[in-house]
């Protein structure tokens, strides 16, 4: 079975910053997609902020197993309607992988329910990512750690909910640490936050980063099909109760009436 991955790119700095355009002439999303395509079991497509509906129509999302999100300069330009649409699709079982500055994307903040803030420094310093959960599916094939010689620093405290599991913790040359690989489940959707990926460095040409992304796509994929019931709040009528009961006490709702939302 092929997993259908979709890379969402903000595609702003690629147009505005010479440094970024030189590194990623086809756009960061294109390079991220190439990393995924190295695995024959993953089919990949890309969309960008500038596409109609940001490329995230109902039809596209329905046909996506795992969405990867890279954004930074234009979080505020993402339409709230689309954010809500993506959140719903995640709850229904679509995997979601948030990359680097996507910690401040609307969709991540929406799904976490917290500020998702952190400290940062753009100095091209060394980052060493330690695998704290060896043999986790997302760490498959990795050694005890891997290094990125030039990265932006992100430092704790990272104001996110306590994760399901912590997979990576980063050491930074300048003295900070960061929980760089965190898993969550929201509804039927698996969510992975992966820290590296600043646009002025060649992070998405790193082989280990590619391996992590492919692992994460496979981990996030929920093959059980769309779970639309996650939104429902059905009334169970008394005469359909699994155990026989008799109605008692005061009532607000008439038979068959919908609940309040």
The residue to which tokens 């990512």 are assigned = 129
Rounded Cα distance between 238 and 156, Å, is 51
What residues from 166 to 185 belong to the interface with a second copy (CB under 8 A)? 166, 169-177, 179, 184-185
Does 165 bind a second copy (CB under 8 A)? Our answer is yes
Rounded Cα distance between 218 and 207, Å, is 17
What residues from 1 to 60 belong to the interface with a second copy (CB under 8 A)? 13, 17, 19-20, 23
Does 241 bind a second copy (CB under 8 A)? Our answer is yes
What residues from 94 to 153 belong to the interface with a second copy (CB under 8 A)? 101, 104, 110-115, 117-125, 128, 130-135, 137, 140-141, 144-145, 150, 153
Token pair, residue 120, equals 């940062």
Does 249 bind a second copy (CB under 8 A)? Our answer is yes
Does 260 bind a second copy (CB under 8 A)? Our answer is yes
Shortest distance in whole angstroms from residue 46 CB to a second copy: 21
Rounded Cα distance between 46 and 67, Å, is 10
Shortest distance in whole angstroms from residue 9 CB to a second copy: 15
What residues from 221 to 240 belong to the interface with a second copy (CB under 8 A)? 222, 224, 227, 229-238
Does 253 bind a second copy (CB under 8 A)? Our answer is yes
Does 77 bind a second copy (CB under 8 A)? Our answer is no
Does 76 bind a second copy (CB under 8 A)? Our answer is yes
With 0-12 CB in 10 A as exposed, 13-18 as middle and 19+ as buried, what is 240? Answer: exposed
Count Cβ neighbours within 10 Å for each residue of 143-159 and write b for 16 or more, e otherwise.
Answer: eeebebeebbbbbeebe
Please say which residue, 46 or 180, places its beta carbon nearer to a second copy: 180
**Structural contact between residues 91 and 187, judged by C-beta atoms closer than 8 angstroms:** yes
Radius of gyration of the chain (CA): 21
Does 247 bind a second copy (CB under 8 A)? Our answer is yes
What stretch of H or E contains 20?
A: helix 18-23
Q: Which of 32, 39, 68, 75 binds a second copy (CB under 8 A)?
A: 75
């Amino acid at each position: 079975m092929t997993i259908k991955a979709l890379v969402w790119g903000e595609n702003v700095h690629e147009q505005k910053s010479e440094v970024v355009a030189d590194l990623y002439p086809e756009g960061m999303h294109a390079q991220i997609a190439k990393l995924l395509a190295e695995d024959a079991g993953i089919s990949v497509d890309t969309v960008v902020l500038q596409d109609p509906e940001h490329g995230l129509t109902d039809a596209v999302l329905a046909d996506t197993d795992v969405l990867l999100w890279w954004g930074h300069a234009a979080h505020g330009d993402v339409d709230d309607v689309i954010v809500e649409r993506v959140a719903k699709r995640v709850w229904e079982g679509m995997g979601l992988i948030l990359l680097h500055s996507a910690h401040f994307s609307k969709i991540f903040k929406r799904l976490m329910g917290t500020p998702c803030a952190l400290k940062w420094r753009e100095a091209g310093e060394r980052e060493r990512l330690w695998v704290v959960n060896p043999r986790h599916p997302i760490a498959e094939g990795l050694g005890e750690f891997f290094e990125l010689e030039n990265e932006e620093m992100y430092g704790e405290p990272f104001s996110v909910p306590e994760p399901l599991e912590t997979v990576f913790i980063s050491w930074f040359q300048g003295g900070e640490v960061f929980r760089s690989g965190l898993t969550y489940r929201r509804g039927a959707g698996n969510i992975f936050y992966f820290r590296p990926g600043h646009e002025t460095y060649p992070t998405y040409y790193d082989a280990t980063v590619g391996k992590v992304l492919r692992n994460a796509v496979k981990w996030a994929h929920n093959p059980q099909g769309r779970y639309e019931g996650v939104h429902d709040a059905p009334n169970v009528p008394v005469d359909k109760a699994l155990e026989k009961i008799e109605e008692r006490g005061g009532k607000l709702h008439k038979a068959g009436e919908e609940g309040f939302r």
